[in-house]
A and B are shown apart, each in its own frame.
Chain A
Amino acid sequence: DAGVTQSPTHLIKTRGQQVTLRCSPISGHKSVSWYQQVLGQGPQFIFQYYEKEERGRGNFPDRFSARQFPNYSSELNVNALLLGDSALYLCASSLSPLGTANTGELFFGEGSRLTVL
């Protein structure tokens, strides 16, 4: 079975540009979360979507936005890129949101490595 797939795997942008990252969750998983991982740090929560609705948002500026499609895939958009946005962007899927009674084991993709010059 395919795991969480993300595209592109690597990309380079310049300051001020916009980027869209894509994620396909594991088949049957309805919840998708996005995390930013700066080199040498743990992942930081950006967004969670469940059944196409935003269920949580981390402490990130409005330049970051996301959406989930009817097939449960998701896109993360970042506008007006800054040098500090350079990071590994991780998508994770789960059967249910972590805030519910069921355990919310997250399955991570391998990430999209964004470099902003």
Chain B
Amino acid sequence: GESVGLHLPTLSVQEGDNSIINCAYSNSASDYFIWYKQESGKGPQFIIDIRSNMDKRQGQRVTVLLNKTVKHLSLQIAATQPGDSAVYFCAERARRYSTLTFGKGTMLLVSP
């Protein structure tokens, strides 16, 4: 399929390493954040979300951290696997609007 990751920041890791993908969001009033994974030729897939009244949320092998002071969001993937290779987007929802604003994305490449 076609790549959606041209000219994107790229993070290259070895299989088994922990990965940290960072995102700076723009709107201090945003109240809800989501991380999506997009594999080549496919639509974005929901990974994990977090509300602005939380600092951390854990899922299966993934953790999202939110630092509202510096408007920073991170996605931590434990024991990264080759199947985790994809483009990862953070998205924010501005309060009182029913839309998501996506960041530009980070390509994660996992080597066996």
- Residues of A bordering B, CB below 8 Å: 4, 33, 35, 37, 39-45, 48, 55-56, 58, 88, 90, 92, 97-100, 103-111, 113
User: Do A108 and B45 touch (CB < 8 A)?
Assistant: yes
Note all chain B residues with C-beta closer than 8 A to A105.
34, 46, 49
Q: Say if the beta carbon of B43 comes within 8 Å of chain A.
A: yes
In the bound assembly, the distance between CA atoms of A88 and B5 in angstroms comes to 13
In the assembled complex, how far is the CB of residue A70 from the closest CB belonging to chain B, in whole angstroms? 21
A57: nearest chain-B partner, CB-CB: B99
B102: nearest chain-A partner, CB-CB: A42
| Majority secondary structure of chain A interface residues (helix, strand, loop or mixed) | loop
Note all chain B residues with C-beta closer than 8 A to A33.
99
- Residues of B bordering A, CB below 8 Å: 2-8, 32, 34, 36, 41-46, 49, 89, 91, 93, 96-105
Could you write out 26 A-B pairs with CB less than 8 Å apart? A33-B99, A39-B3, A40-B8, A41-B105, A42-B89, A42-B91, A42-B104, A43-B102, A56-B98, A56-B99, A97-B98, A98-B98, A98-B100, A99-B98, A100-B98, A104-B93, A104-B98, A106-B44, A107-B46, A108-B44, A108-B45, A110-B41, A110-B43, A111-B42, A111-B43, A113-B2
In the bound assembly, the distance between CA atoms of A108 and B36 in angstroms comes to 10
User: Do B99 and A58 touch (CB < 8 A)?
Assistant: yes
| Majority secondary structure of chain B interface residues (helix, strand, loop or mixed) | loop
Note all chain A residues with C-beta closer than 8 A to B4.
37, 39-40, 88
A40: nearest chain-B partner, CB-CB: B6
In the assembled complex, how far is the CB of residue B75 from the closest CB belonging to chain A, in whole angstroms? 14
Partner of B96, one of A40, A42, A99: A99
In the bound assembly, the distance between CA atoms of A35 and B38 in angstroms comes to 14
In the bound assembly, the distance between CA atoms of A25 and B5 in angstroms comes to 26
In the bound assembly, the distance between CA atoms of A105 and B35 in angstroms comes to 11
